[in-house]
A = this chain, B = another copy of it.
């Protein structure tokens, strides 16, 4: 019935071919890594007999392992910590009014252990690698996926080998190195690092945590959708808005909501809206043209480094996610992203990295195009913590510290002049 990890079968996103779990490890051999990404299935009917909303209501596990019955892992994984998922969903009535929607919630995934959404996927990847007896896990990334993987590999006592392009910023390397990952800095581009990582993993039998090509990672990402539903007491919002780079997160959300329908927990799914940065929006271009695959942008550019992607690896799932739910892909300028960082911090108390604030940055745009209306209940996902990139945060604010002499009279004069102005 399943593979010992709960999975019944996988289906190719392009040709619909069905695979037994043991038949395939990454992508569909007929369609290849670019178009042959796979979707994971479980014996839903059987699971739904015992896995119910009431069972979840009674469960006190404050992590995404509370959904282990529909995760591709055996039991509660040995990777018991750190506590991943079950991030807060904040109701924001004042912001809802100002955007002109009925309800607005912000889900803050910057509160995950490595401070980004990617922990949901890394934790599942490492749990599977452990169960399969792999001793080494690898990924190509300069950012959140790599630091997240390094953390979970360290917890599991596994070797992590991270491929980064030569341009990787020193600050991001700090997190990899402190977790003890081996870092291979490739004299070349991110795309070259990605391909080398894939080839090396195959050659050496390492477990591959690369975005999109590993179908099980999206299963970790879907847990954000499960949490949104449970935190709203098993109802679904009308719309969910999230930043999009490779497209894995929005694809994972779509899978999560689809699983909830299959289990009979809810009877509809929300419209999913993906927000890209204008300078790196191949998925928006594809969506606008009604295409099912994205083109490559060789010179993607945006201040939001985590979604600065010119060749979105999970394009098929991402485009399907917005198309099939009645949502859309939209783009925002970098200045809107910086404004969203300020507004999120000051009105919601959430310090987001630029990509983390990009979903929120799309709200005005979605409202002005009437894609969101006054009756909509909307959830916005924040995908990463602002401490990941304080440089851009500093650029996002024009205010400066006020220099003042160290005496009370000088302080008083300064404050009086500010209060008068």
Contact = CB atoms under 8 A, between A and B. Distances in A.
Contacts of A385: 115, 387
A403 interface: yes
Given A174-B393, A401-B185, A152 B414 contact: no
Contacts of A183: 399-402
Given A175-B387, A177-B400, A187-B405, 10 more contacts: A81-B88, A151-B351, A166-B403, A171-B390, A179-B345, A179-B349, A179-B351, A183-B399, A184-B404, A203-B408
Interface residues of A, number: 80
Contacts of A406: 186-189, 192-193, 196
Interface in A164-209: 164, 166, 168, 170-171, 173-175, 177-180, 182-189, 192-193, 196, 199-200, 203-204
Interface stretch (A106-114, A238-246, A277-285, A359-367): A106-114
Contact of A394 (B174, B402, B411): B174
20 contacts: A62-B88, A81-B349, A108-B113, A111-B111, A115-B387, A151-B351, A155-B349, A173-B401, A174-B393, A177-B400, A179-B349, A180-B399, A184-B401, A184-B414, A185-B401, A196-B406, A200-B408, A200-B411, A203-B412, A204-B415
A286 interface: no
Interface string A94-131: 00000000000000100101110000000000000000
A168 B404 CA distance: 14
Nearest to A164: B401
Q: Which of A173, A192, A390, A400 is most buried by chain B, counting CB atoms within 10 A of its CB?
A: A390
Interface of A: 62, 80-83, 86, 88, 90-91, 108, 111, 113-115, 151-152, 154-155, 161, 164, 166, 168, 170-171, 173-175, 177-180, 182-189, 192-193, 196, 199-200, 203-204, 341-342, 345-351, 385-388, 390-391, 393-394, 396-397, 399-408, 411-412, 414-415, 418
Given A200-B408, A393-B174, A415-B200, A402 B182 contact: yes
Q: Which of A90, A115, A186, A351 is most buried by chain B, counting CB atoms within 10 A of its CB?
A: A351
Nearest to A83: B88
Contacts of A396: 178
Given A185-B401, A401-B173, A180 B346 contact: yes
Closest 3 CB pairs of A and B: A188-B406, A155-B349, A387-B387
Contact of A182 (B115, B403, B418): B418
A59 to B, nearest CB: 11
Nearest to A196: B411
A62 B62 CA distance: 9
A299 B390 CA distance: 29
Q: Which of A86, A189, A349, A405 is most buried by chain B, counting CB atoms within 10 A of its CB?
A: A349
A408 B196 contact: yes
A178 B82 contact: no
B82 A108 contact: yes
Contacts of A91: 80
Nearest to A341: B178
Nearest to A394: B174
A180 B152 CA distance: 35
B185 A351 contact: no
Nearest to A408: B199
Contacts of A414: 184
Contacts of A151: 345, 349, 351
A182 B183 CA distance: 41
Contacts of A401: 164, 168, 173, 177, 183-185
B402 A154 contact: no
